[in-house]
Each structure stands twice: as C-alpha cells, then as structure tokens.
Structure 1
Amino acid sequence: MALSTEQALALLLILNSAHLTAADCSAQDRVPASGSAGGRAVLPCSYTPTPGQDVEVRWEAYPDQVKSVLLIASKTPSAPIPAQWSGRVKLSDEVSSGNASLLISELRLEDTLDYLCTVWINGICVTNRNVKLTVQGPPKRVSATATTQKTSPCPTQQGNAAAQRRSYCMKPL
C-alpha cells in the first residue's frame, strides 16, 4: 500500500514529534541544591502541565553512583520508601500544577548524593532533572573559653571591703 504525499508528511511529522519528545527527555545539566544537617532541602523539578493528562513523577537517588534507588513514584504513593529516607521525603503537593520538587527533611550528611527526577505525561518522558544535593554539617559551636574576656587588675576604692578582697575586676583589656 503506497502512501500519498500528504499521508507521508503526516507520518513524518508524527515520527519527528515523538523523536523530539524522547530527545527532550535526556538528562539536563546537574542542578545544585543544599541544606544543613538537621534542616531540610527542596530538590527542584518542574514540567509544563497539560490539563487532563496522565502524569507520573519518579525520584531516584544514586548512593553508589551506578545503581539507583527509587525514593518516590507518584503512581504508587503507598510503595515502601527505603529506610534511609523513610519519613523524611515528600513529593510536592502541586504535582498537577507542574511542580514535581522533592522535599527532604531532617537532612543527614549521607544525603549528599545525586538525585534524578523523571516526569512522564501519557507514558512519554518529558523531564529528566539531575540534582546534586550537598549537606553541610551543623554549625560549629564557639566554646565558652573562647568568648570569655580577659580581665586585668584594677584599683579598688578605699572603704569598699568587697572590692578590696577581689584581686581582679571585670574590666576588659
């Protein structure tokens, strides 16, 4: 069966649009995200929503740089979350509006990893976002001895018994 020129062009347009969609889903440049241990971080991921479309969002982590671990899949919200992230990861409440970001709370130093967000609309991948999360340790505490001011002897006034018993006063150097 031979195709007419119009049919061939229509088929070519369909094939090209499918190819462009697949090419658009290649991994984008790595986006940085950061947070402090004990705090929280938002790993950004977004897409252009289309009303009435079937959307699926998946977040994966790469703890060993080769094999990924599935954290969350919007199609299976009751699926178990790996123990390291259990109770600490949450998908945005605005997925249907194009916000597929992931919130990680109670950050740990070992959360410093590469993460991948993938969004499919009607089974076609439309977004593939790499996020590099860096978790800084808690701020260093300044010791009490480092903040204590040195004092110097100071003259006492005649007749002040308490001041005469002290050998130093609280006058900074």
Structure 2
Amino acid sequence: MLCILGIHSDCPPLDRVAVSGSAGGRAVLPCSYTPTPGQDVEVTWYAYPDHGEPVLLITSKSPSAPIPAQWSGRVKLSDEVSSGNASLLISELRLEDTRDYTCTVWIHGICVTHRNVKLTVEGPPKRDSTTSTTQKTSPCPTQQGNAAAQRRLYCMKTL
C-alpha cells in the first residue's frame, strides 16, 4: 500500500461525486465495490481540510478507533461493508463539513475503489425580515388530561 499525502498511487483513477445536504440534516457519502466471498476488505475514509494534511475519519479495520473531535458521534460507516456498501453517513451536518472526502477500498491489499466525494452543506433557509410581522397571540384553553402537558401546550391563536 503506497500512500503519499493521502494520494494512493496504486489505486484506480479517482472517481468524483458531489453530494449536498442541509445544516442539521444527514448526508450519505456513497462508496461501493464488488464483493467476493472470503475477501479481506479494508475501507478508509479521509476528510480534506482547506489547509494541511488529510484527516483519517474512520477505517473498517479498527471501527472503534477514536474519530476526530469535529466528527465525533456524527460519522458512521455502513453496516453493509461486507456486501459492497462502503458508504459513510454524516449526521447533524454542519456548515464546516463542506469539504472533500475520499473513500478507499482495499481487498487483500489491492486498491479496488478510490472515490472523492465533494460534500456541500447548505445553511437553513434565510427568512426575509422585511415580510415578517409580529402578531399578538394568546394561549387557547386547555382540555382535560396531563397537567404538565397542558402547561406546555399552547395554541398560538391570533388576536
């Protein structure tokens, strides 16, 4: 396995894909390969910051290894790696997740998949402050039931 600055010189040509998602949502970064019985598969995902070295996000050979803080608790490798699905799920998307990611799949030490995924995270829709109006509201009467839920339940009725 020859790896120079995250560039695998003995891999097939880099396959490029673009994915987009919304802040707070989820995105699946697709990566796949053709499985064969009895294979020794290793999947690695790298993130590429604007400056500096690629960051190892996750590898199938040590799935319990620490994940970099920026992605901790938010990235997960597909449960179907042995079936050919090497996709990465990123949840609770943040604007700073916008960057390039690379998936590399090795079978018996031979690189079979090398994919770059460009993730673009868009922010929540902006509200037009010139068209929003302030309305007076009052709570509606509550119905019979759980008292705590009644205290939390307000119907915003325009006056």
Structure 2, unpaired ranges of 5+: 1-8, 134-159
Runs of 4+ in 1 over 4 A off after TM superposition: none
Q: Matched residue pairs, number? A: 125
The answer to whether 1:126 aligns with 2:116 is no
- Sequence identity percentage: 80
TM-score between both structures, scaled by the size of structure 1: 0.68
TM-score w.r.t. length of structure 2: 0.73
The Cα offsets for residues 23-67 of structure 1, whole Å up to 9 and x where unpaired, read as: 652322x20001000001000000000111100000000013551
Q: CA RMSD in A?
A: 1.7
Match of 1:146 in 2: 131
Q: Secondary structure at the match of 1:146?
A: coil
Relative to its length, the structure with more helix (as a share) is 1
State the structure with more CA Rg.
1
Aligned partners of 2:51, 2:85: CA distance in 1, in Å? Answer: 26
Output the CA distance in 1 between the equivalents of 2:44 and 2:58: 6
Q: Which amino acid aligns with 1:91?
A: L
Q: What corresponds to 2:18 in structure 1?
A: 32
Q: Which amino acid is the alignment partner of residue 26 of structure 1?
A: P
| Cα distance in 2, alignment partners of residues 75 and 36 from structure 1 | 30
Gaps of 5+ in 1: 1-21, 149-173
Partner of 1:12 in structure 2?
none
- Listed one character per residue, the Cα deviations across residues 46-103 of structure 1 (whole Å, up to 9, x for unaligned) are 0000111100000000013551000000001111000000000000011111010000
Give the structure with the higher percent strand: 2
